[in-house]
């Protein structure tokens, strides 16, 4: 429990999020990276457009989250003295969960590397984005966890010193069983997604 008069604050060990009067809170560094306002990622496929957001708004959310994740990874690694890519990667899910963003399950077919062969396949079982949409009774026609995809990609880009991007391929917010993501260099995402959908088809 988190002390708050014993009434309103709690820590969910199962969901890994902090609740204040049943409202979920997130933890973030107070100093963002200077790249936050200038970095651009790959254009989103039309199939990932969220109706309530313009393409530029969606890309802004994703790219901003990616730079926040990159900056958090750098600061976290510096404080813990982490220099190895796998050590930096393994610290990510712990930080991601305890900061309230989401749980992370990295799947066995993942192959992180310090070159363009980098590939990560993972679940975020309880993103704050899907939780908010559920609370509001909203269902999307597309995947909706843009911030979670971007933050993870930024963390891993720093951890392995290779530019990678995340893409959500299934989402609780559109009725799927989990929020599932892939991560790779941008030019390889389409191929990985096609392969994943072929395996499921």
Tokens 């963002």 appear where? 32
pTM listed for this prediction:
0.76
Cα–Cα distance, 28 to 96 (Å, whole number)? 10
For the sheet containing 105-106, what is the strand order? 105-106, 120-123, 180-184, 165-170
Residues of the chain with pLDDT under 70: 1-54, 200-201
What is the C-alpha to C-alpha distance for residues 167 and 70, in angstroms, rounded to an integer? 16
| Angle between helical axes of 146-160 and 85-98 (0-180°, round to 10) | 150
Domain spans of the chain, in order of start: 29-200
Contact 170, 107 (CB under 8 A): no
Q: Which residues pair with 42 in a beta bridge?
A: none
In the prediction, which pLDDT does 196 show?
85
CB 102 within 8 A of CB 149: no
Alpha helices in 47-145 (DSSP H): 55-80, 85-98, 128-135
Q: In this predicted model, what pLDDT tens digit does every residue of 179-190 receive, in sequence order?
A: 999 999 999 999
The encoded tokens of residue 152 equal 């993870």
CATH dotted code for 29-200: 3.30.1380
Structure confidence by residue, pLDDT tens digits, 121-145:
999 887 888 888 887 888 888 888 9
3-state secondary structure (DSSP) of residue 195: helix
């Amino acid at each position: 429990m988190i002390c708050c008069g014993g009434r309103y604050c709690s820590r969910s060990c199962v969901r890994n999020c902090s609740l204040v009067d049943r409202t979920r809170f997130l933890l973030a560094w107070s100093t963002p990276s200077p790249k936050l306002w200038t970095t651009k990622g790959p254009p989103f496929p039309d199939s990932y457009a969220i109706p309530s957001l313009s393409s530029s708004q969606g890309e802004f959310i994703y790219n901003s989250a990616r730079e926040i994740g990159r900056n958090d990874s750098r600061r976290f690694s510096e404080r813990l003295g982490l220099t190895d890519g796998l050590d930096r990667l393994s610290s990510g899910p712990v930080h991601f969960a305890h900061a309230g963003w989401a749980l992370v399950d990295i799947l066995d077919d993942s192959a992180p590397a310090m070159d363009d062969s980098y590939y990560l396949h993972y679940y975020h079982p309880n993103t704050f984005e899907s939780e908010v949409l559920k609370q509001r009774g909203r269902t999307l026609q597309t995947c909706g966890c843009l911030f979670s995809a971007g933050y993870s990609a930024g963390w891993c880009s720093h951890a392995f010193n290779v530019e990678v991007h995340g893409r959500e391929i299934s989402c609780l917010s559109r009725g799927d069983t989990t929020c599932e993501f892939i991560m790779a260099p941008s030019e390889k995402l389409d191929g990985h997604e096609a392969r994943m959908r072929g395996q499921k088809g």
